Amino acid sequence: MALIGTINAPNDFAFKNRIMNGAFAISQRGTSFTPTDLAYGLDRWHFRLDGTPGTLAVTQAALAAAELPPFSYAMRFNQSVTASGRTYLRVGQHIEGLEAFSGQQVVVSFYAKCASGTVAIPTLRLDRYFGTGGSPSQADNMGFSSGGSPTITTTWTRYTAIGNVTSTSGKTYGTNNNSSLLVGIDFPTSGTFDVYVTGFQVEIGSVATPFEFRPYGTELTLCQRYYSKSYNHDVVPGTATQVGMEVCGFQGASGLGGAYGNVKFPVKMRTTPGTINIWDGAGTTNTHSYTYGGAGSAQAIANGGSWWGSGTPFNTSHSGFFMRPTGSQPSAWNYVHYTADAEL
């Protein structure tokens, strides 16, 4: 029997698309953002900008069913009031493991449209970061041999750019195991514009292939290696809710010597999180904020109030962290909401 079709060339990675959340369906931090420099928006995507901000909103935009099937979401950049003194405005993603791209040709592709007129993109980004720790080589820009400055129109169009990542021979990586290839878009630094982007893909090769859709659960798990939370997928951190709270320990009547609680992340993170934020069920944020279960009964959480203790996360690892409530309360279980950030 003859085989129909061809077998894909071997791939050292499980997926051809090295970008995570390229269809912008994962939104653990929320769905609407006012960008600030180095902050993150939709999962894995972060902002770089300077100058005095005008009015800029970045949102997860839901697409109509027949607008661009099979995509359901896009990332919308809406600059409704121009900024001043700005020299860069960028959204990008650090792809972990720069060594995988050494000496490789890279294809960047994405779908985009603008609400009106045309928007000239100054440049796409293709930057090498050699990591931190020790004395790593300086970051540098690879640029694109073609397609690096597209003009966006009002019609959904797939844009493609070709770049070459030179060999890292002779370069020095940092000691913190966090080198990366930054891929992204530089938007106009002045004026107003309203741009939608989706289907962002980065692959090693010379031809853009169809966008690789991964199951929602798979994409979420990939993103959780860099950022995770206790809240439900569609709940913004800091929301007043007790749904999904983690047990952070048992408190004795004396308030001292309570049992430790082990909070486990949904997946092992890229590294020990650099930031863990804690909330109680009322949406109050503080490293000492809990929700008190009352009378030693876990079921009482539904009626529990909020109180302040003096416990903080400790023994933090790739897998989770410990907490122990302290203070002065009757014997009770105590609970927290958390976010953990291990982004590059």
Domain boundaries, the chain: 32-224, 246-341
CA distances (Å), origin 172, targets 131, 270, 343? 9, 21, 21
Tell me the β-bridge partners of 55.
81
Place of tokens 């002065």: 328
> pLDDT, tens digit, for every residue of 79-103?
999 999 999 999 999 999 999 999 9
- Residue 72: pLDDT band (50, 70, 90) is very high
Residue whose C-alpha is closest to residue 313's, from 268, 270, 253, 272: 272
Which SS3 state, helix, strand or coil, does residue 222 take? helix
Distance CA 26, CA 7 (A): 31
Given the candidates 3.40.50.880, 1.20.58.760, 2.60.120.260, 3.30.70.1350, the CATH classification of the domain at 32-224 is: 2.60.120.260
d(CA 28, CA 234): 7
**For residue 34, is pLDDT > 50?**
yes
Q: Is the pLDDT of residue 290 over 70?
A: no
Bond from prior residue into 273 cis (ω within 30 degrees of 0): no
Between 295 and 240, the more confident residue is 240
The first and second tokens of residue 318, run together, are 């790739």
Q: How far apart are CA 261 and CA 53, in angstroms?
A: 43
What is the reported pLDDT for 132? 97
| Reported confidence tier of residue 110, pLDDT bands at 50, 70, 90 | very high
- Once rounded to an integer, what is the mean pLDDT over residues 287-296? 53
3-state SS class at 223: helix
**What are the pLDDT digits (tens) for 127-179?**
999 999 999 999 999 999 999 999 999 999 999 999 999 999 999 999 999 99
Q: Which one, of 8, 201, 16, lies nearest residue 100 by Cα?
A: 16
Q: Predicted confidence band at 313 (pLDDT cuts at 50, 70, 90)?
A: confident
Query: Which residues are bridge partners to 123 per DSSP?
Result: 186
Per residue in 249-268, pLDDT tens?
766 655 455 667 789 999 99
11 class by beta-carbon count within 10 Å (0-12 exposed, 13-18 middle, 19+ buried): exposed
Q: Look at residue 255 in the predicted model and tell me its pLDDT.
A: 47
HSE at residue 275, side-chain half, CA atoms within 13 A, is 10
Least confident of 92-96, 108-112, 231-235, 278-282: 278-282
